[in-house]
Every structure is written in C-alpha cells, then in structure tokens.
Structure 1
C-alpha cells in the first residue's frame, strides 16, 4: 500500500499519496530513487506543484500525468539517471552531425507535451528527445525520437510508458529508446510501431490507429 507523503512508514517507498507540495518536495529531496509515483493529484494540484517547481528552480520532471487516474509519475534527475539518457542522446547527435545533417535535426531536450485532444488533462516530459527540422521545431510539436532512462524503476515499469508515447502523440513519435541500469548491466531497447496484419483491413487511417509497439532491438552492456 502507498504511504502518505512525509510519513515514517516504509523504507524509501516508490509510491506516495499527495498531501501538500512541501511534503512532496521533502520526499523528493530525501529519496534515493530516480522515479516516484504520486497518487491523489488533481489538475489544480499539478499546476501548483509545477508553479512552485519553477519558482524554486527544481530539476525533477513530470514523466506522466493523467487527471482521470490522478496519478503523477515524477522523474528525479539523479546524476546516474541523467548520464544514462544524455550519453545515449549525445551519441545519436554525434552520428547525425557526422552524416552532415546537423542543420536538419533539433535536440528537443525534455519538453512538456500534452496529448492531442487532451490539452490540460494529460502530459509527458521525456528525458531526451529530438526530431527533424523544420517539422519538429515548432512549440508543442512532438519529437520523432524519445529516450527514457531508469535506475530504480524496473524494465517493466519503463515499458509502460512506450504505448503512452505513441498514442498520446497520435503516432508522431516514431522511435523510443529505453536505457535501464540495474547495478552491473545497462540494457538498451529500441521500440517502434507496426500495423498488425489483419484480414479485410479497412482504411489506412483505421490501420494507423491500431498500430502496436514492437521491440526491434535489444543490447546488453555488462
């Protein structure tokens, strides 16, 4: 069961119940985790958390928020977490520059993005992301490439966000890279979408709406 924010129960819980902003910030300041799931967060409370986060210049990110479930998943920018995704993103950008395409790619970073058709209700902030210019350079445009990192989260918890990225962007996100560190091993996964082969498929639009995430590649670094 989730503990209340600021309570003495449990040992560094990964899930906490929201009571107030300062108690939440206290948990964030003292946790050793790079991810925290916060329940019982209304949209008004999220707005308050975001405002104070900006005022105090705190570096944690909102990985996912949904008003219906009132669940907020926070990414805490530990040194290890940041190295995981930034190192991978740097390698990607270096390769793109080496191909002479530096002016055709924009490094989006960690923007706050709202799901299409759900403005003000759902949102995501990735770890690293990017896409081609000028198509993805406008404010609010979804990237084509997203990198998500995890240390305290399990691989299964990281994978939950894959479907959300594809669906919330209306399939504008094309590639998702996951990088997970478990203490001795770095696991990399590359995910894309494909249209399942179904008999008597109707329109292309219908098919696009029924794309499924597919694991294309796995790399294990020991």
Structure 2
C-alpha cells in the first residue's frame, strides 16, 4: 500500500483563528551573521573542528558545492541572522483538527495527554497542539512533563506542540541510531567521541523569542569539539507514525534554521504500521537560486530532503526502494574533524536495514 500523507478536511482552528498577538518585541539591532557549517572530507578544518572553507556536500557518487548564505533582510524584512517564527497555519502543519485544543490549565493538558495515550493505537497521528498557551503555562508543564513526551513551543503564536511516541516510533528511532553507533564502534572507537543527547530541550538561536523551544527524538553530539550546556548536535532524529510526515518535515526545517545551521543533517523516519513500511528521508541544507541579476552571487540555502529510502518490512527479508548503501552523513559533518584512513562516511547497509526491519516487526 502507498503511504497516506497529510490530513483532509478543513481544520477547526482555521475557522476560529487565534487573535493577533499585540506588542511583539522588536528584533535585536545587531544579530549575528548567518553561517553554514556543512562540509566534506575535502574541506580544510580548523582546530575547533569547524570548516574554514566554503562548505561542500559529498555523498556517494555525488558532489555539489554549496553557496554562501546571502543577506536575508532583503527578502524577510528582518535583520540578517533573525528569522520569523512560523505563522499559526505552519506551526500546526500535519496536525489534524481533532488533535488541536485550547490551553486552559496544565492539569487539562495532562488529562488530554493521558486520554490520548489510553486510546491511541500506532496508526494515529502522535501530535497534540494547544493554542493560547502562555509562557508561564509552558514553564508549569516543564515541571511535570513525563519522560518520553516531546514538546515544541512557539512563543510568537503561543502554540504548544506535544508529540507522544509509540512503541514502533521508539523502536525505529533506536534502530537507526544503533546502526550509526555501530558504524562508529567499527571505526576503532569513534563512538567515544560522540554522545547521544536524547530528547534534550533546545532554544532557537535565530528568533527574538527567548521561550521558544524544541525537543527532538534523539541526536548525536561530537562532545569533544562542541562542549557546553547549549551545544547543538550535528545529527538529529525525527520519527513519526501515520499522518505525521508533514509535521516531521516542518520539524526538520526548524533544526537547520534555528540552530543557525549547526545541525548538519536530520533523519526523518515516517512509519506506516499497518503497511509495515518505514520511509527514511535525509534532510540537509541545499542550494536554491533566487531570480536576481547574474552580476552578483545570489545562491541561498534552504532545508530540503536530500534523498529517500523506503523499507518494506512486510516481506522477509525486507525489500527496499532507493539506493543501498543509504548515505546518512559524512564523517566530517558528524564528528567535526578530518577522517583517518580507517574512518568512513556513515551509511546504512543492507544488513543494517534488515536489522531495523526485524526490530520494527517485533514492536508491532
């Protein structure tokens, strides 16, 4: 069966929009310049592990140079380095109307979460949204948030997004992560340079809203080259089931834009339990061309899906659509140092794919 993407019908929140929020703070006058940190094995690397030359994206059989990020103020009306948060419609992308509620109290949020978890099976969208969530409501929720629940908060629109992972959701995330960790171990101890960040909360760097935040499903941080409390991972995992693809893609864009491109790749895993299918997407910053005179450089970067792999777990062994080995991320982009002779890019082999399919079937 083919995957079903998106949600049909006119959502109720469109019929009753949230009132416009007044007194929006003004952007800072001296934001930092936007930078891009993707690079390949051919790029010079400075002592702190960051690239010292224009970035290049390299994957098996394909090398494409990336251009520099231009002044975004000409297109957004904001100073360079400051991005607006998504509007209400974009913030709720991929979430069905019946999963959208209006915040009243933290007890009400916890009650809806408990009710959803008790009735939810692995087919339904795992997201809940709460409109009109004040900042103090977010802080109150933080103090009682249960393990395993992921959240995202847009301060500009006061929208709280909750993700409720299921068994297959967690199993697929762990399966892909384990394969990457195994790759690192087989390189002779590269795993000791990497840390799993779990569902750590991150604050965006490219917005004026200090209480906005997001948690991923998993992430990998090269802790020897990025230390400190707010260090961003180089690889993020985002997983969802059934109707969640649009939401997952929105999540992938957030990591690139709001980490100021410190995140180098996002693995999006879209799980279709009834069909026993896993769709993997790798998101990276990719070049786009804006219609401007050819007399000046006008190459921008945008988050975009780089390539896909479909794993059909209804067969044994699993069948795939897409190139295998499946390229995840270059060694340099993940570990933030040049690779040695015994070190390679991070790929999913056919053996890795069969392992992921096996543990996924066992979770159903």
TM-score by length of 2: 0.52
Counting strand residues as a fraction of each chain, which structure ranks higher? 1
| Paired residues for 1:1-222 under 5 Å | 1=12, 13-31=98-116, 32=120, 33-53=125-145, 57-62=146-151, 64-100=152-188, 101-116=190-205, 118=208, 120-183=210-273, 184=275, 185-197=277-289, 199=294, 200-201=296-297, 210-222=300-312
Shift of 1:77: 3.0
* Post-superposition offset of 1:107: 1.5
Please report the RMSD computed on the Cα atoms of aligned residues, expressed in angstroms.
2.1
Secondary structure, counterpart of 1:158 in structure 2: helix
Unmatched tracts of structure 1, length 5 or more:
3-10
Match of 2:347 in 1: none
- Structure 2 partner of 1:5: none
Contact between 2:286 and 2:302, CA under 8 Å: does it hold in 1?
Answer: yes
Say whether the 8 Å CA contact 2:129–2:159 is kept in structure 1: yes
**1:165-216 deviation per Cα after TM superposition (whole angstroms, max 9, x unaligned):** 11110010000000011221110000110233564127xxxx6xx4211222
Considering Cα pairs closer than 8 Å and 6+ residues apart, tell me whether 1 or 2 has the greater RCO: 2
Question: How big is the shift at 1:61?
Answer: 1.6
- Contact 1:34/1:81, CA 8 A, preserved across alignment: no
Question: How far does residue 144 in structure 1 lie from its aligned partner after superposition?
Answer: 0.6
TM-score (norm 1): 0.84
- Higher CA-based Rg: 2
Per the TM alignment, residue 121 of structure 1 is displaced from its structure 2 partner at its CA by: 2.3
- Contact 1:106–1:136 (8 Å) recurs in 2: no
Task: For residue 154 of structure 1, give the secondary structure of its aligned residue in structure 2.
Answer: helix
Contact map agreement 1:177 1:190 (CA 8 A) in 2: yes
Question: 2:134 & 2:112 partners in 1: Cα distance?
Answer: 19
CA contact (8 A) 1:35 1:152 kept: no
